[in-house]
Structure 1
Amino acid sequence: MARQSTWLLILALALFCIQANGQNLVPNGSFEQYAQCPQQDNLLSEAVPWYNPSRATPDFYHECFKSGQMALSPHTGQGLAHLFLDRGWSEYMAVPLLKPLEANQCYSFEMYVALETPNKLLPQTLGAYFSTQPVTTTTTELFAVNPQFIESQLTANTPALRWQRVSGSITAKGGEKYVTIGSFFKSPPQLGFYYLFIDDVSLLPVKLDLGRDTTLCGRASTYSLSAKTPGAIDYLWNDGTISPTLLVTKAGTYSVKVTTPCKILYDTISINYSLDFNLGPDTTLCTGQTLTLSVPSSASSTYSWQNGSSLNTFPVSQAGRYTVRVTQANCTVTDSIQVRYTEPPQLDLGQDIELCGAERFTIQPTVAKGQFAWQDLFAEQSRTVTNSGVFRATVRNECATVTDSIVISYGACDCVLYTPDSFTPNGDGSNDTFSAYGCGDISIQSLSVFNRWGELIFTTTTPPFQWDGYVQGVACPTGVYAWHIDYRLSQRNKVTPGQRQGSVYVLH
């Protein structure tokens, strides 16, 4: 009667765990519970509800009694099982599952095995058979059944007396109530073969459940999602995360894809907040500006600001830290914002300017209370201009950004192209070349030089549009030479082509 009461208590506790957590369907899978402390060999039945399904003699050892047969410590806890396999002698261990298996449901099976003599191992013979009825025999021979699980991890090179995890998945036909563990398909070829220890046997349904949609208090609340699934190969969340767990830090819909050896699982969950608000990031205002802080209005909420105000809005007109506490039902959420004030930036590029001829002008910006930058990314703050255009700049600080512009125009007089009347290409460093130049709106396109008979002796279409007084490396004779220049004039968003001819005196 005591043995039956112990088993019923174990069964009740295990069924509660399954309903609460979806846990192991193998009762006493770690061999921790016993009816009576095993003080000799051949007492597997003391590890209730495990039983011996044949005439062989499987063992159950527990640290409640120190036995010399317990050649290593259990994988976990204090108990383990022990099987011996020999010629004509196959020991098995069996147990009723906590509930029948569901048809077409995938399950992950796992156990830990330690071998005393790995070199005698019969590979791919150790396994588990799931059945609707108990499988028993009055002999010590192999069971003539086809197990749904056969391990493939153990080899003759497996270290002796060291726990090894063996695992795999099965798909149930439905109604299986028992599992029998032992060696199948092949008997040892001779006497005096090998022992093996077994611990931590588990059978877990391969299911995915992120839980029900959840509502949290406020944005500071977090929620841990777990997609851990027995035998899972990989995980993929909708945000690209590939770990089995995900920490939720904001409201939204979260989904996960879990790949297992037998099928792909999907699940989705929505996370919301009862008090979904914040006052925003710390901010800086310009002197004289105001700001109205607000939180969502609700008849079921109460509000408390740092000065005791109970409204859902608060006007800000001076620097400081502002805090609100909102309470709704059992939720209380607090948020703060730091407000600073600073003077607005200042910028003045000066009055628009009209230039004449080849005049140059340097813009000297007046800047205060901020960081200056030209919009065309010119590096220096002051800049000298030689062409018409609109030049814009900004000054910014935490308070604001201001922009100013200045118009430079060469429309005050004609934009003139200048050329020298003579030059002396004698290499003394003074007036050695014929060079043309003009106001910044003129862009020279080509320069050509002709002798007194109208023959072309020099031409170029690339800057710097200069002639050194030589032709094919030979100095030209002293005299008058004609030149021709093609150019473009760009003013007031209009480009006008132009030409100019003249003469220059070369003096050697």
Structure 2
Amino acid sequence: MMKTLTALLAVTLLNNPITAQDISLGNPSIEGPPKAGNVPYPWIRAFESPDTQPGYYGISLPASNGKTYAGFILGKRWEEGIFQQLPTPMKAGSYYQVSFDLAFPPKYDTLTLCTGTLAIYGSNSTTEKGDMLWQSGTFNHESWTRYTASFRPEKEYAYILFVPYLPPSCGAKQFTGALIDNISSKLAQVPELRFEQQPTCKGKSTGAIKVIPTGGQPPYSYHWQHGPSTSHLKGLSEGAYTVTVNSANGTSVSRTVNVDAYTLNAKAVPKEPLCHGDANGSLALKPLNGIAPYLYGLGNEVIFQGDSIFSSLRAGTYTFGVADAVGCEMRARTILPEPASLELKNVKLHHVSCTETMDGHIILHISGGTPPYAYSLNHGQWQTDSSFGRLDAGQYQIKVKDQHNCAVAGEVNIIRYIRECAVFMPNAFSPNGDGVNDVFRAKVHDDVHDFRLAVYNRWGELVFESREPESGWDGTFKGQPANTEVYAWVLTYTDSRQQARKQTGSVTLIR
């Protein structure tokens, strides 16, 4: 996915721009008396014996500039070249250009040369080559041809060295060589180029490129492969654009910049209404790419505005749009959800058990809304427990609210059973699955607590135990149907008068 773009993207194609520094070269045309085995000042012979030509070892080519030039050869065990100490060392990270004329001598003295080559090295001693900065590649032209070498030293070097090299196309016992003349008068620093690039909207021409040169020597001139001779191009479509920047020191550099195309994308972040049916939701539109600043719109007929948040919305499906600074637009649809309607899903009532108690009970089951919920009975205090107990018979107003104060209300009626307060136990049950008398349990007509029902077989084994009045024995023991027989039971509890009670008896299991 394309990253979010600022109004202009800066793209540095050459790193570490350095302040301009042209380095002069002494005697660039290598002028001096022709001499075998040496070169004129300030040039220094490198390793073996370069020659000041023409006139020696069968070399008669006239100089391309002035009267003399240098010639040298290289073999596996023989190496010649020329050094010069620079008045100012080459700086690490600077980008330099130097031009010169080269020619190939097919024969040098008694040697037949394999090909012509030249390499440039940066060094800090005349006893070693140092680090290679540039190679010519092989050449076989016997007349002078102009070359321009561009290089960026990784370290600072006090000397520059011109020397042939042995390419893979030559055998180990062969020689290469070169004639060199008319070297430019300086190592000219090449401009560093930084580009500010604005991508284009897909299918449109909204891109832009601005080239910012540093280093070299201003003023600069610009030549685009397609476009005007300015530092800034606008209205560009997707594609590659090549510019050549010429410096006043005679150097030039060409670079290609891609104008990328993008399709504007944005998302809608919903904030749902607080309650079902409310009109207080919102949509926040967030661009995922494109060029700021943006405009935003909502609705089938999008009218753009600067505010990215649309409020006071009901739940539903909405069309939204975003436009960026260069007119790239997008449309999409999104859904603004809402919470489910808050509902009293179920109300469980426990009526007052008997004439002398007050054990009515209400348990509320809620769905929808936004938890947590709060509950109130007869306009009393709010509580987090959905259960209300110790109630007398009567009409009760219930109210529930959620986290956002969405509310639902209802009314229930608790009745009192007019009967003796007691606990009764059946004397038989038939767990055959017919839905009638399938479970052995207490019939509690009282407000009891500390309840325990235990059932034993004829050998005194405990086959069932419960501490909840609503829970009963289903006629199984250790996961298997219990035998048809008579079982003893013991029931203990505390009644509504706070008296401890114990009842015993027997029950027949019938199948």
* TM-score between the two structures when normalised by the length of structure 2: 0.32
Larger Rg: 2
* TM-score between the two structures when normalised by the length of structure 1: 0.32
Q: Which has the higher helix share?
A: 1
Q: Which has the higher strand share?
A: 2
